[in-house]
Amino acid sequence: MTLDQAIAGRRSVRGFLTREVPAATIREVFELAQTAPSNCNIQPWISHVVSGDSLRALGRKMVEAANAGVAPDPDFTADRKFAGAYRERQVDAAVQLYGAMGIERHDRPRRDWAYRRNLEFFGAPHAVFVFMFGEFEEREAVDLGIYAQTLMLAFTSRGIASCAQGALSLYPSIIRDHLGLDASNRILYGISFGYEDVSAPANAARVGRVSLADSVIFHR
Ligand SMILES: Cc1cc2nc3c(=O)[nH]c(=O)nc-3n(C[C@H](O)[C@H](O)[C@H](O)COP(=O)(O)O)c2cc1C
């Protein structure tokens, strides 16, 4: 696969097979992603890769919290309301996803269920939780974003599907307790990964992009 094919072929997958990715392949991807650039080369990402029973147990804890009505308490603001064109893009993505899953716009219980699937990693056998040191803010978050895409492209080129998930940062204390981390580790996002279940309805969703003219301005 060429780099262009990996970039164009990567998409968010929300239904996985239980089959695990070989440990050596996972290591290879994380080794490669270590080459991601960062401001002053500080490499602020702290990644915890969780698999197997430990991942299932962590998922259960987060789902139990959500079902019990525990309010999310993310380390970074996660409740921004989008407006205008951004809101339209958000709604369009939701229409594509819930449409593929056969969930009506006002079917709140099924939409909630679909959202909770985030906390179960959409059935993926692996997830990486990406933290950064407590005092870091936007500038270091840029580095973590570049790192995320580097990971996902390296996965794609090996036939491994993934989904970046802000939703995996909603219950940080549960994750920190589970992994034995202190509060100086603040979580920005998680990425579920594994092999795509092509029969999962959610995976039929395709979201578009705005045209270049709406995003890129060329000057000379
Ligand atoms: C930082 C980040 C956080 C995201 N959080 C979630 C999430 O919590 N749940 C989810 O289903 N998708 C999440 N996504 C996936 C986006 O919805 C997806 O990237 C977008 O709709 C474009 O679709 P594509 O990835 O298939 O191209 C996230 C993506 C990014 C980059």
Q: Chunked in runs of 10, what are the mean pLDDT values of the chain (220 residues)?
A: 97 98 98 98 98 98 97 94 97 96 94 95 98 96 98 98 98 98 98 98 97 97
- What topology is assigned to 3-79+117-207 in CATH? NADH Oxidase (3.40.109)
DSSP per-residue codes, 151-182: HHHHHHHTT-EEEEEGGGGS-HHHHHHHHT--
Question: Cα of 50 to ligand 1 centre, how many Å?
Answer: 20
Residue 203 near ligand 1, beta carbon < 6 Å:
no
Closest approach atom of ligand 1 to CA 118: 9
Tokens of 149: 């895409």
**What region does 68 belong to: left with phi over 0, alpha with psi -120 to 50, or beta?**
alpha
Per DSSP, the three-state class of 77 is coil
Residue with tokens 């936007």: 138
Closest approach atom of ligand 1 to CA 11: 26
In DSSP terms, 185 is beta-bridged to 133
Using CA atoms, how far residue 7 sits from 1, 150, 156, 197, in Å, is: 10, 10, 8, 20
Per DSSP, the three-state class of 219 is coil
Residue 105 has a pLDDT of 87
CB 158 within 8 A of CB 25: yes
149: burial class by Cβ within 10 Å (0-12, 13-18, 19+)?
middle
How far is it, in rounded angstroms, from Cα 86 to Cα 210?
A: 11
Q: Chain centroid to CA 38: how far?
A: 20
Sheet holding 185-194, edge to edge: 46-51, 126-133, 185-194, 161-165
Residue 79 has a pLDDT of 87
